[in-house]
Amino acid sequence: MQRRSTKRAVPRKKYTVDAFQGVPELEADVDPDDLDEDGEAELVADDDEVDLANAESEPVDPVSDDEDEQRPKVPRSAKPRKKKPLWGRARRLGEVGNATRRWTNDLTLPTRNENLREFGGFRYDSSHTDEVSEDPRQGWDWYLSDGGKEAFQTHQRLDVLTAEEAKGYLGDQQDRSFVMGPYQDQKLFHLTPGQSMPLANGWEISAGEIGSTDTPEVALHYKLGFMLNLGAEVRCLGWIPRRDSKVQYLTTLVSPEQDGADMLDAPSSHGSGLTKQSHICIWRFQADAEGYIDTTITPTLALVLCTDWGEISTFQWCPTACPVADPLGLLAFIAEDGMLRVLDVPLPSTDDRAAYVLVKQIACELQPPNTTCTCFTWSSPTLISAGCANGSVYVWDLEKIASTNDPGLSFTTSKICIESITSCAPSHPHILFVISAGGGMAVTDISQVPARVSPLKATRVHDLSQPLLLWHDYLQRALTTDDDCDVVARSLQKGKHRITVSKARNVITAIAASPSHPCILVATEAGDVFATNPLVQAASGKADMWQQPWSSHQWRRPTFAEREVAEQDTQGSTDQLDKASTTIGKHGLSRILEGFKSERIGPDARGKTFTEARTGARVLLEERTVVTSLAWNPNINCGGWAAAGMADGLVRVEDVAV
């Protein structure tokens, strides 16, 4: 027997594509005119064939079974089936692809300028561009021309206070001492409440043990930013949308410290921590001609808004910039009484002195019946929606409220408290994402009456993390978090479809997105803040996940020896080292770490938490180590500015664009 050779280059038998080739009964004569360019027979539909994809609903004559059997059956051409989007237009999916091609090389941090191929850089998406370029007054006609501005100025009342009178609203502000700089050569710094220092001071070469907090006379080209001490735990941060302005305003909200309360002592009763007085601060930062932070000009406190309605839980500026210079914009906030208020904030003076005003009366007070507001979101300059404690959502139109006091639209999405709500503006301003306290998520279309509520697949109850929620317009998905320390993107067309776009080592406490680029910031309870680009994971689920740590914040309690030093006589000392030692003994010491390498997470690490994979348990951290709030600058000329607020009262502001 002859063995078969393994070196044969051609097959022994002749294989054809047509399975019936060579069978005379099944071969038919083909007209040469019916052949295509490749010599294959082209299938041509009969005149009587109906296209089911494009045919309209017309009456069809009934056909008997005998006639149907005699009719020749022509093979249908394979046509892709197009799914109709649940909400919005189909062109939004194409815009996601355009954004992916533009920023796919920005793996973590945004790039300031676009390259020769027009990739990277700062640019608004098409929805935001239409609002900015076509008509700056779009959406603001009710305020500028229809009496909205006059209504706010007539009904709201702002009383001017002196700095001494405003001290009762500011609470007990504390000094802060911290170390920062190179890891092996960190220096000690001391900041009083309201004082700031350039970030570059931590990297200067000095012989002393304590670093200088003075502002340099010459503009620096590295570490463009400042460290700011607010004196109390930072609760919320937000940049004011402005139109191509060199003056940028950062709004801050802190949790008031009780006078004389020690940081280690718990409240004596449940109501001992409640306060009726609160305040919101607006800080002024200066930008240079190229959009960088001007480190030669110290940030100043421009305006302080004092209130008597209890502690303010959250605030949001109207995301659409006001087309006129005065006022700053519309500021909405929820106070301790559960009422949503909208304030027309005037433009502060240009001098370096801070203005203190007491908000005695509000022109627009929104109170749902028999419940309280827990969260809210802006959809447009006139439309604002609030989630309530009874599981309902109320939608108000400011234009109608100014004239008729219309209660607006209301509907129920859950049986329990709503903890987070966000609008899909600017691309889908009529769509709302809602998360309840039980972990359930729902998508609502408020353009229909009654509102269309679509519950999504319920997630696990947030036992450790807070239910963070925001809309990412470049990704056309809503970003949320879970107890696995992941940032998850939920699609608008496929609400049950999840994409993990970021992974942290600890519980996530804050996330922030920008309208001028797709990169996001993520903060954790361990004080870590990192940046990533979610478009990379949306484009390919098998791609590596890249994360760039921005900074790490740590806080520790004072030692017994440091407490004894603080109790000694250091009241009259003017030495910075003595002041820093006293502050450490009273309020502890913070440490700022930076200069980390980018981190790559492979596809095989998905679905596993860092803490459980390495130690099998979660780490308990100090309460004041947490990074509580993040904010991207929404203005396109300063799109790389980022702010991070810590629980010990420090705020880091830096231009992180590359």
Q: Which of 367, 468, 461 is nearest to 416 (CA)?
A: 461
pTM of the model: 0.82
Q: Where are the beta strands (DSSP E) in 102-181?
A: 157-161, 176-180
Q: Is residue 138, in this structure, part of any structural domain at all?
A: no
CA atoms within 13 A on the CB side of 535: 27
- Please state, in angstroms and rounded to a whole number, the distance separating the CA atoms of residues 49 and 76: 10
Assigned domain for 400 exists: yes
Over 80: is that where the pLDDT of 1 sits?
Answer: no
Domain count, the chain: 1
Question: Measured between alpha carbons, how far is 31 from 33 in angstroms, rounded to an integer?
Answer: 5
Q: Which tops the pLDDT comparison, 619 or 246? A: 246
Q: What is the pLDDT of residue 65?
A: 44
Reported as a single tens digit per residue, the pLDDT across 359-404 is 999 989 999 999 999 999 999 999 999 999 999 999 999 988 755 5
What's residue 635's pLDDT? 95
**Range name among 1-15, 194-208, 472-486 with the lowest pLDDT average:** 1-15
Domain with 380, as residue range(s), is 148-259+274-567+575-655
Q: Mean of the per-residue pLDDT values for the chain?
A: 81
Kindly report which listed range (78-92, 244-258, 333-347, 577-591) carries the lowest average pLDDT score.
78-92
Tell the residue number behind the tokens 């950062």, with chain if given.
250
Which of 475, 510, 525, 532 shows the shortest CA–CA distance to 643? Answer: 510
Site of tokens 């231009």: 655
For residue 230, the model assigns a pLDDT of 97
Q: In the prediction, which pLDDT does 225 show?
A: 94
pLDDT at 392: 95
Confidence of residue 126 (pLDDT cuts 50, 70, 90): low
Is position 55 within any domain? no
H or E element: which one contains 102?
helix 91-103
Within 13 Å and on the Cβ side, how many CA atoms surround 22? 6
Q: Where are the beta strands (DSSP E) in 482-525?
A: 486-491, 498-503, 508-513, 520-524
Cβ atoms of residues 255 and 235 within 8 Å: yes
In a domain, 440, yes or no: yes
Report the C-alpha gap between 10 and 515 in whole angstroms.
60
**Spatial distance between the Cα atoms of 2 and 396, rounded to a whole number of angstroms:** 89
- DSSP state for residue 26 in the 8-state scheme: G
pLDDT at 406: 63
Candidates 487, 491, 485, 476; CA nearest to 512 is 487
Q: What is the pLDDT of residue 529?
A: 98
**CATH number, domain at 252?**
2.130.10.10
Q: Look at residue 375 in the predicted model and tell me its pLDDT.
A: 96
> Is residue 220's pLDDT more than 70?
no
More confident residue, 121 or 262: 121
Q: What is the structure's pLDDT at 10?
A: 61
Element (H, E) at 481: strand 477-481
Distance, in Å, from the CA atom of 513 to the CA atom of 487, rounded to the nearest integer, reads 12
Angle at 146 between CA 334 and CA 137, to 5 degrees: 80
Q: Is residue 188 part of a domain?
A: yes
When pLDDT is averaged across residues 183-206 and rounded to a whole number, the result is 89
* pLDDT at residue 106, rounded to an integer: 93
The reported pLDDT for the residue numbered 399 is 86
Q: Are 422 and 433 in contact (CB under 8 A)?
A: yes
List C-alpha distances in Å: 454 to 53, 197, 414, 437, 446. Answer: 28, 49, 11, 17, 12
Q: What is the C-alpha to C-alpha distance for residues 527 and 553, in angstroms, rounded to an integer?
A: 5
- Please state at what angle helix 576-587 crosses helix 560-567, rounded to 10 degrees: 120
Question: CA-CA distances (angstroms) from residue 91 to 178, 380, 489?
Answer: 50, 21, 20
DSSP string, 557-600: PPPHHHHHHHHSS-TT---HHHHHHHHHHHH-EEEEE--PPPEE
Sorted by sequence, the CB contacts under 8 Å of residue 403 that are 6+ apart come out as 147
311 neighbors 256 (Cβ within 8 angstroms) = yes
Across 209-226, average pLDDT: 75
With pLDDT > 90 as the criterion, what percentage of the chain qualifies?
A: 50
Section 271-298 average pLDDT: 85
Q: Report which of 71, 18, 70 is spatially closest to residue 41, judged by C-alpha positions.
A: 18
For residues 36-41, average pLDDT: 46
Tell me whether residue 76 is in a domain: no
Instruction: Find the mean pLDDT for residues 540-568.
Output: 91
Side chain identity at 118, as an amino acid letter?
E
Q: If we measure between CA atoms, which residue out of 650, 417, 631 comes closest to residue 523?
A: 631
Residue 474 lies in a domain: yes
The pLDDT of residue 455 is 82
Classify residue 89: in a domain, yes or no. no
- In the predicted model, is pLDDT for residue 596 greater than 60? yes
